[in-house]
Amino acid sequence: MEASGLTKIFGKQRAVDELTLTVPRGAVFGFLGPNGSGKTTTIRMLLGLVAPTSGSISLLGERMPGALASVLPQVGALVEGPAGYPFLSGRDNLIRLDAAEAGSDAATRALRVASALDRVGLTHAAAKKAHAYSLGMKQRLGLANALLRRRELLVLDEPTNGLDPQGTREVRALIRELAADGTTVFLSSHLLSEIEQLCTHVAVMSAGRLVTQGTLDELRAASERRLVVTTPDTDAARRALIARGLAVDPASADAPDTVAAALPAQVPVEELTAALVAADVRVRGIAASGATLEERFVALTGEGFDVAG
């Protein structure tokens, strides 16, 4: 999936401004940004639900909106506020949606619907009317619709929104399972931890603009915290840091009295200082640099992320 120069203007507001994205096949691509940063508008444009003011989109290698009708059956989508007929049961909603899918075989419909309900954990509530569903159950029903057939691409807008912790874990496990089967997944979230747990790639939005995109590993590497210890006792320092679980750099002839290592976010520098002293390392200097992924994203967007979940 690709977007180039994608822009949506509402009145005077540029909800999405010159967005260029490349989502590689097979990726689990996280679309991260605070509320109001333009994620939903982007997703609606990608799915042909709203026309861009300018810019171009291709889905599964086909230019949109020209190839929409042929590509959409291979795309499963869950967009904000899952719709549905409120006075039909969850199962009957899916039966209607399945019947509306091009080329769906009526003879196997009941089986498909039952299996989609099962995958999202809604079997027990299948006969209940959709208006009586909780937000989390509606979200699951929307996901079940996206799973009625095997999709090449799944586009999910805040897929764990409204789910309790157990439901959140289940939906994340389902996304991992689908990705392992080779489905490309594009999902939006305002939760950095969710993106870190699920995604191979990430793009970060702020006020309608893309502030960064790349693989999660690239962004991690760019935001890695580093520790540098200056000491005459480099061997002992190296051993003490390795014992604390740090990945220590190989010794360098250019810096004979220093030991450098990647510094995990959860390790406080004062603990390492104490460990070095306890190991009789004569510390001349100790310095930490860099930022965690979260600190980097906050710096990029100028806003805090909700890190719960």
Ligand X SMILES: Nc1ncnc2c1ncn2[C@@H]1O[C@H](COP(=O)(O)OP(=O)(O)OP(=O)(O)O)[C@@H](O)[C@H]1O
Residue 170 is inside which H or E element, if any?
A: helix 165-180
Q: Would you say 36 or 65 has its CB closer to ligand X?
A: 36
Tokens of 91: 């199962």
33-41, 96-104, 225-233, 238-246 -> range binding ligand X (CB under 6 A): 33-41
190 sits near ligand X (criterion: CB under 6 A): yes
Tokens of 280: 């009789």
| Closest distance of CB 50 from ligand X, Å | 8
Q: Would you say 168 or 258 has its CB closer to ligand X?
A: 168
| Closest distance of CB 36 from ligand X, Å | 4
| Closest distance of CB 190 from ligand X, Å | 6
User: Do 269 and 201 touch, CB atoms closer than 8 A?
Assistant: no
41 sits near ligand X (criterion: CB under 6 A): yes
Please name the residues in contact with 140: beta carbons below 8 A apart, sequence gap of 6 or more: 120, 121, 122, 163, 167, 171
Q: Would you say 33 or 90 has its CB closer to ligand X?
A: 33
Edge-to-edge strand ranges of the sheet holding 184-189: 75-78, 153-157, 184-189, 28-32, 201-206, 209-215
| CA atoms of 223 and 275, how far apart (whole Å) | 25
Q: Looking at 33, 76, 90, 121, which residue binds ligand X (CB under 6 A)?
A: 33
| CA atoms of 293 and 309, how far apart (whole Å) | 16
What letter does residue 251 receive in the DSSP assignment? P
Q: Would you say 19 or 240 has its CB closer to ligand X?
A: 19
Number of residues that bind ligand X (CB under 6 A): 12
| Closest distance of CB 300 from ligand X, Å | 15
| Closest distance of CB 119 from ligand X, Å | 25
Write out the residues near ligand X by the rule CB under 6 A.
10, 13, 15, 33, 35-41, 190
